[in-house]
Structure 1
Amino acid sequence: MRILGREDVRTALADLDSTVIDLVRNAYVLHSQGKSDLPFSTFLRPLHRSESRIIALPAYLGGPAPVMGLKWISSFPENVNRGMQRASSLCILNDLECGYPLALMEGSQISAVRTAAGAALASGLLNAGREVRTVGLVGCGTINNQVVHFLTQVHEGLETVLLQDAFPERAKVFAAELAAEYPDVEFKAVTLGQALTADTVSIATTDSSYWLDLADYPSRPDGQVILHLSLRDLSVSSVLGAVNVTDDADHAIREQTSLHKAEQQAGHRRFVTAEIGALLDGTAELPAARTVVFAPFGLGVLDLAVAEAVLNLAEKRGLGTEVDGFDPGSHKVTSNLAGSAA
């Protein structure tokens, strides 16, 4: 089994940067075509930390390069106040023939990258050719850092990014860091109302209180695309008043997401217009709308698609460490029988 630590994964992802959006696109389409097996995620919540959780996401993705495994990811929001990352993760890949483990790798970077790549893919798709010059970021953390990276690939005309955070000083620091990395783009720390005037807005916060009512911000532009990545920020009325796109309705409309709250209030799911895989393969289309919200649950098949590419590159470049002893060994009886038959 190959073990890939944080730096191994970072090196591999840097080399794969230009291909990640395509990996995510292909995974979405394969899932939409029924070429995946995706059980519901399991949520583990510590009794003394109701806001924290660990999630297990088993998945199989078919197609020309099938992959099977598990994403195990924790979210402990209080980590941020201690200078730590909110999320940590491991990704396990299994052999498709015997089920033995092939690789164990640090997974939080894969999770962040595939989340952001999926968001950028959705922004390009849902803006339907409209030029995006301004982006708003609500929440100044790891996910939106990656979102900026991939949005600059998808929207080459991007001029200004407006940053807002519950802690304004974080937005100022984040703006300065991004300005140094992307000198051709202007970054401004702003109020929430100002951030919501952007063509596309990415929401990635640790607030799960359904606190944001879009009706309170009438100056938002027509056709605005909102990337609701943290899933529990928008009010029910905001969801019901928008055209909604998700990655998989059965997965996204549960565990008290904003979509789930809307279903509970409305008594139906008809407010979800389409899933992104169907839009990508042309089997669904969107009506014109003042606001389009993309609220992806975050499918494990995306992580596996990127993790498989990371493993393949790691094997070619000699990244990570090969270790023995992580398989159960041979079967005492049948291995002898097989040897006799030979």
Structure 2
Amino acid sequence: MTQAPTFAVVSGAQVHEAVAGREAEVTRMVEAAYRLHGEGLTVNPDSYFLRFPDRPSDRIIALPASVKGGVGVHGIKWISSFPGNVASGVPRASAVLILNDAETGYPFACLESSIISAARTAASAALAAAALADRRGGRPRRIGFVGVGLIARYIHTYLAGNGFTFDELGVHDLSREHAEGFQGYLERTEKGAITIHDSAESLIRSSDLVVFATVAGEPHVTDPGWFAHNPLVLHVSLRDLSPEIILSSYNVVDDVEHCLKANTSPHLAEQRVGHRDFVAGTLYDVLSGTTAPPADKPVVFSPFGLGVLDLAVAKYVYDRVASSGALNTVPGFFHEMKRYG
């Protein structure tokens, strides 16, 4: 008789243990997933947004995906964003992820996924920063963070884990308390000068690498002149920049169809001009040498966030936990396994 499939639950503590200190390794997993996606070895449908008429700032998003190659799984991430959580002292985002067996379709694991989501987002940003900066002629030494929550912290960790070092670090957040908290975090890990900026303009003009990790729902940075020094911009939160800034920049996305929707800044730019010619290509195009960033324009990376990246990192975590013997399976999770009882 065929043995019933097993189902495991992987906790956030186990996820953290699997990825902490392995930023370069996780980034290589994300790069491999990007290459599989670029080669047509993934399925990445549109994300589905569950919204609430009485709570317009809140949403829960479903990201289904499938990855072939060395990952070889199907799955879905279910991630909520409730910005009001921050005022209560808990993170904005929470998530779980289900992995499904590629042969039978049976789910075999549920993983806490806020850490996986943050890690894949940060690894994607660090990978893009390295690929774009190295092809542009050198890595920036002055970095600025606009928005300083969990994602900003993970991006900093992953930049450091991929060899970035900084002489100057800038911080700007609408909350002075949060800005000072992030400054304190940076002081524990960085030797460069750390400055809290009262305005986004001041931070942007003094940074050669700018990280946007906000919860902005519409553009709040509108003057292309702030970018006249041609910085590299990791536009992770997707809706911070006006169409004018996007249209005056060299734009790289993770996936054109996914990124140019849901009123992201690139989507607003498309609506403004009626075409997508301002998009130079995808990160896969940069990695494969199809396109290269110029030195005489701002370079903006806008990643919508692909479910295939979550699956790649989740499978990496699952394999590490399983190989350590610490996998927590749920006895009898699948019960009706005989067709006729």
Q: Which residue of 2 aligns with 1:203?
A: 212
| 1:80 partner amino acid | V
**Deviation digits for residues 53-91 of structure 1 (CA, Å, limit 9, x no counterpart):** 111000011113312100100111111111111100001
Distance 2:190 2:260 in 1: 39
Distance in 1 separating the partners of 2:266 and 2:164: 31
Out of 178, 195, 217, the position equivalent to 2:226 is 217
Q: 1:155, CA displacement in angstroms? A: 4.2
For 2:244 and 2:190, the matched residues in 1 are separated by 38
- TM-score, length of structure 2 as denominator length: 0.92
State how 1:1-342 maps to structure 2 within 5 Å: 1-14=7-20, 16-127=22-133, 128=135, 129-180=137-188, 182-191=189-198, 192-196=200-204, 197-217=206-226, 220-222=228-230, 224-327=231-334, 329-333=336-340
1:30 and 1:153 map into 2 onto residues whose CA distance is 23
- Shift in Å at residue 157 of structure 1? 3.5
Contact 2:247–2:278 (Cα < 8 Å) also in 1: yes
Alpha-carbon offset, residue 118 of structure 1: 0.8
**How far apart in 2 are the matches of 1:308 and 1:185?**
36
Of 241-250 and 188-197, more deviation after overlay is shown by 188-197
SS of structure 1 residue aligned to 2:55: coil
Q: Percent identity?
A: 39
Distance 1:234 1:156 in 2: 25
Deviation string, structure 1 residues 250-275 (Cα, Å, up to 9, x no partner): 00111111111111111111111110
Pick which of 270-279 and 125-134 moved more. Answer: 125-134
Long gaps (5+) in structure 1: 336-342
Supply the RMSD in Å over aligned alpha carbons: 1.7
In the aligned structure 1, how far is the partner of 2:336 from the partner of 2:229? 61
Counterpart-to-counterpart distance in 2, 1:93 and 1:213: 41
Cα distance in 2 for residues equivalent to 1:272 and 1:326: 47
Gaps of 5+ in 2: 1-6
- The farther-off stretch of 282-291 and 246-255 is 282-291
Measured after TM superposition, the shift of residue 12 of structure 1 is 1.2
Instruction: Give distance in 2, aligned partners of 1:261 and 1:326.
Output: 46
TM-score w.r.t. length of structure 1: 0.92
Q: Secondary structure at the match of 2:182?
A: helix
Q: CA deviation at 1:101?
A: 0.9
